[in-house]
Chains A and B, each alone.
Chain A
Amino acid sequence: MRHRSLLIITTAVTAGALTLSACGSRDDSSGSSDGGGTTTVTIGLDAPLTGDLSALGQGIKNSVDLAIKTANKNKEVPGVTFKLEALDDVAQAATGQQNATKLVGDTSVIGVVGPLNSDVGQSMQKVFDDANVVLVSPANTNPELTQGKDWQSGKKVRGFKTYFRTATTDAIQGPYAAQYMYNERKLKKVYVIDDKKTYGAGLAATFSNEFTKLGGQVVGTDHINPDDKDFSAVASKVAQAKPDFVYYGGEYPAGAPLSSQIKNAGAKVPTIGGDALFSAEYIKLAKQNSEGDLASSVGAPLETLDTAKKFIADYEAGGYKDAYEAYGGYSYDSAWAIIQAVKAVVEKNDGKLPENKDARKQITEAMQTVTFDGVSGKVGFDEFGDTTNKQLSLYEVKGGKHVPVKSGEFGG
């Protein structure tokens, strides 16, 4: 009897688990031609749509959705209708790779926007490259993704021909922040903390390099576990080291409590970090302790760009529940770049999109030469697939809001 009940329970649990995992996968409806002579193709999307980073992920999804709707409404590519397939990677590299496999398996997918996290991007690149599907990330900033792991020593090698990004890399984002803090804020002592992830550790390293090169002093370094909430021990160490400011390479779910606990530990110094701290959620979580903290982000502030005015107005008119956040403009441009590549291919082939395998290959080739005036400025890709737009900005939290304090091109 005992064994039988164990068996029943195990079966029930297994069946339950299988049902749950089955919920995650939807039908691979391959949308090809419908009756009216138009072709429907899918633009895939991969971002953390739930979990800690969902504020950024939802902004990406909505902006891509807006780009697709705009293209369909204006008949941007005659004879081609676009459709969105959004998948949630919960900021996990393994989930991202599963999503990648699923997307390339769907023959209607001709390009994918995403992901948000650099480590997720790393896990997806090869899958897309093998299938010849373009992957355009609006947010991956780790230089390795495009320039290979020896980029720092000058040996830049592009690993994946289908990988592009509209975001500027940490190779300039970290140093940009270092120059600002050293030259303009005249702060000489920094405590560097990172979360050991591809993005965070990379950013912290490029920052430290530039900061010491300028003559600044790194008075201490530490690493945290991004799933923790208690950073009091690290915070006390920071207070003990008496730095002028703290650099955090990581994302806001851990960055906000870290900054807050550092200030609570008695070190009344600003925390500065990269684009993953540039979120309204950061201020919500760190509350009044976020005052004076800084974040660098890719591109100029959208609100100041003429090209972005239409995007912002359309986004508001679209009635999306979540804000477009840090990557909205880049996500729109990423999707638009794919749409422009499709357009180029269609024009080259007498108004028709070639068969699936050919289409994917030709779109990858067309992507390399796409240029247009996008939300974030002039969009185009260099020989590594990096954006040619090297604009960066710094924001400071003032009165519970991120206020731009500096914007410009990185000057070496």
Chain B
Amino acid sequence: MNDLPQQLANGLLLGALYGLIAIGYTMVYGIVQLINFAHGEIFMIGGFGALTAYLWLPDGTSLLLALPLMILMAMACSVLVAMGAERFAYRPLRNAPRLAPLITAIGLSIALQQAIWAFYPDATKSRPFPEFDGGRLDLGAFAIGRGDLFLLIAAPVCMIGLGFFVSKTRTGRAMQATSQDPDTAKLMGINTDRIIVTAFAIGAAFAAIAAIAHGLKYGEVNFKMGFIAGLKAFTAAVLGGIGNIYGAMIGGLVLGLAEAMATAYIENIPGMSQLGGGAWKDVWAFVLLILVLLLRPQGLLGQRVADRA
């Protein structure tokens, strides 16, 4: 067990990544009760946006200097695609039965994935993503990669920023109001259409940040990276209580930790050696999800709300 600090760090970093993506699922669900399955692809497009920005810059530009531009470009791509999806795919179905936008989201996800595959140069295989030079940063009990630093700074900053935005600003409070009761919010003069677009945009911006963190951490982006990451982030959102932004982050961290712990230690339990290791981590992660949902159907931080079907 003496690599415990290291495994905790691995799990928390992975979890922070899941959490950033999960924000997008949870915000959209909180306001329009739609599970935006295309969100994984919004994340993937952010990664390709950042890569494009990097490739535009002259060779040899320091990654640190390029990073602000990459962030802007990633956010621009993700937010534009998300807003476009909201405007053209989801808004026309706002009053349709809930199954319709759900199927649309799945279709949109496939379409976006294939569009990148077909039209982005050389995207049929993994594209290398720039990484910071230099080895690991040794922090005593554990070490983290240089690329992880970005995630380590970005995730808390984004979360605190979002928390502040939602609780303190006018738009943020309008968002809470819309989520609690869209009809009354509208009667009170809140432009709910604008609030919904804002929710999509914020989720997409977070996904863009996550995409850059993913690129810096793993050194590549590819057209199908949104699928697994999106699925895991959705799981994290449900685990934490879908609709609750803090729940999304907590859910992400718990999921990441569960995966790391399952990989590292399950096989040390006597009699469980066949059920441990990297091959079984997803099984344990979902066992955890089932247990949490059995005991707390609303998720870790979710509130028991009446179903607004």
- Residues on A close to B: CB < 8 A? 2-3, 5-6, 9-10, 13, 16-17, 50-55, 193, 196, 221-225, 227-234, 236-237, 239-240, 253, 257, 260, 264-266, 281, 284-287
Q: How far is it, in angstroms, between the C-alpha of A196 and the C-alpha of B10 when the chains are bound?
A: 23
Residues of A within 8 A of B3 (CB): 236-237, 239-240
Given contacts A222-B278, A236-B264, A237-B264, contact A2 B96 (CB under 8 A): yes
Residue of B nearest to A193 (CB): B278
Given contacts A9-B93, A9-B100, A236-B7, contact A51 B228 (CB under 8 A): no
Query: B128 contacts A227, CB within 8 Å?
Result: no
Q: How far is it, in angstroms, between the C-alpha of A240 and the C-alpha of B124 when the chains are bound?
A: 36
Residues of A within 8 A of B104 (CB): 9, 13
Residues of A within 8 A of B259 (CB): 233
Query: A6 contacts B96, CB within 8 Å?
Result: yes
Which one of B35-43, B79-87, B183-191, B212-220 is at the interface? Answer: B212-220
Query: B263 contacts A233, CB within 8 Å?
Result: yes
- Give me the 8 closest cross-chain CB pairs, A-B, nearest first: A223-B279, A233-B263, A232-B10, A224-B278, A233-B260, A50-B124, A9-B100, A222-B277
Chain B 7-22 residues near chain A, CB threshold 8 A: 7, 10-11, 13-14
Q: How far is it, in angstroms, between the C-alpha of A215 and the C-alpha of B11 when the chains are bound?
A: 36
Given contacts A196-B279, A223-B279, A287-B128, contact A232 B219 (CB under 8 A): no
Residues of A within 8 A of B263 (CB): 222, 233-234, 237
Residues of B within 8 A of A230 (CB): 14, 217-218
Residue of B nearest to A224 (CB): B278
Query: A284 contacts B128, CB within 8 Å?
Result: yes
Query: A236 contacts B126, CB within 8 Å?
Result: no
B131 CB-CB contact with A under 8 Å: yes
Contact of A2 among B97, B143, B220, B281 (CB under 8 A): B97
Residues of A within 8 A of B10 (CB): 232-233, 236
Q: 5 interchain pairs (CB within 8 A)?
A: A13-B104, A51-B224, A232-B13, A281-B126, A287-B131
B145 CB-CB contact with A under 8 Å: yes
Residues of B within 8 A of A53 (CB): 125
Residues of A within 8 A of B117 (CB): 50
Q: How far is it, in angstroms, between the C-alpha of A2 and the C-alpha of B94 when the chains are bound?
A: 11
Given contacts A50-B124, A54-B125, A237-B264, contact A227 B228 (CB under 8 A): yes
Against A, the Cβ 8 Å flags (1 = close, 0 = not) of B88-118 are 0000010111011001100100000000010
Query: B278 contacts A285, CB within 8 Å?
Result: no
Residues of A within 8 A of B264 (CB): 233, 236-237
Contact of A13 among B6, B95, B103 (CB under 8 A): B103
Query: B228 contacts A285, CB within 8 Å?
Result: no
